[in-house]
Structure 1
Amino acid sequence: MFYGTWYIYEVQATAFKKDAARFFWNFRCRLTETPVFLQPVWPIYVEKPYAIRYRANQLFMHIRGKSDITTKIYPETHQVSFWCPNEKSQVISLSCKSRQQLVSVGRSKALQYTYLWKEKMDETASIPVIEVTDKKDNRIGTGFQYLLPEGGLLNISSPFDGIVIVLKNGIIFDKRHLMGGYSLELDNIQVGVEIKVFQGLDLVWSVYYEHKQYSLMPDETTILKTLDALGGKVIPVTRSICFSVNQLKNYPKLKRWVYKRIKIGYIPEEALRYLRRFLIDAKLKQ
């Protein structure tokens, strides 16, 4: 019995010319300078093979291809197209009423397609890896610190690029680029210095050095009045605030206040500093 041998080849056109077009046409393939490409733009989504998961009533997609490209949606829904200035791509707006829809893009037949899945987005991203150490390689945690690092030195490293902003008494006086895989040394760390590490637009690590103030723990009512009175710039709620809720078992009213801020998504910066200071004091007195 004879068994045949199969070979798989990958062929790529390096130039858009007649001979190349004829070769692909023999295989019922059309050669084009602008291959079809389908890319979601908004809202935030999770992309999996042949499926896009999102949560919105409207979806914007960027489609690359000339004017002979057609977009079909099933089940059908209202769509609006906006051609880009180069006339080689367009942005379409889709009304998303069904939980599952199919989007196909092509000329005489579908060249690209994907399924749209409208559902709750409950994924959480992992906490970025930021390592901050002192002169003796002791790791420095985020939040308020009462002891200055030895020699006033800190080393910051991360596998990804970022920006390090150094503030003194609330005023930015240094800004440095953090290169992924390399260590950045900061010196002259003093009381009143605050360090923030950003990756993209996310604040992933911060520390504030201040004098230790020994005092009796205030009651819950006083804490809430102080928090409500504090203002300053409003900033987004960070992961550290969410994690701090576990430390408020003995403070139910304060716990509800923090949950309210998490739900709103924003918190006054001065209130956040006071809350972090209170959590550190409460932990030290346990």
Structure 2
Amino acid sequence: MYVIFGAAGKVGQTTAMELQRASQPVRAVVRDAAQGAALARIGCEVAVADLRDPPSLDRALDGAHAIQILVPLPQHDPHPADTMRATIDITARALAGHRDAHVVALSDYGAELADNIGITTLFHYFEAALRNVSTKLTLLRSAEHMQNWLRVLPLALSNGVLPSFHDPLDKRFPTISANDVGVVSARLLSDGFDARGTRIVSVEGPARVSANDVAQAIATASGRAVTALATPRDQWALTLARAGLSAQHAQLIIDLFDAHNAGRIDVQADAGERAFGTTTLNHAIAAMVASISP
């Protein structure tokens, strides 16, 4: 049985669908039963589980020979880092009972770095926890998701300005469509892992992009003039607070973009394998523009 956590999300749903198309048995794990309706329609077994509830995790993992696991950063939490680390600990203990299952863990570029770089530091903790409990572990580290721009897309469409924490605006960085991460994860799960140990696979899109490229893609898709504008570093905290983030959540993002802009978030040198998605920035942005345009 292939057990896919986070199956209601873009990555997880794609993973489940790819495996289902290959006629593999899939258990799609969601947090709410309503999230599983579409997955049930394509033939997935649906399990409801909370990553902080060990009994529900044990039920979801029963009979698993391959597992996709993701521990997301909690939203609307005043202490997101503490909550995520606690969730990782609970999840790792549950996975310890399935040491022979192949675990594909969804992680981030930069997760090999031990020092404080915000959200990515939490994925360093995640990887370390899983290394201690899994004998067949694939760390699937992905670049920043193209879909993250959806948060500021309405603003860009309404006033023609795309705010960016990426600075300088012409600096290219790795990015990928979330759906492509799911496709690669499904392939890794299907291929299996005969050896024991840890495999690292880094995945990004077909080309690196800049904030200026994102603005141009929005302009092309919408037919409106759009220009990228770097948000001044001293305004980041206020901008994030106005977006409703707690001070601790905002600091995680600030530390992450400081690392991004310093060029520290990238493929780990001389470690693991590379994979590349096929979805272009223009294609991903066009789909996002279409999803919110009247």
The TM-score normalised by the length of structure 1 is 0.23
More helix per residue: 2
More strand per residue: 1
The TM-score normalised by the length of structure 2 is 0.23
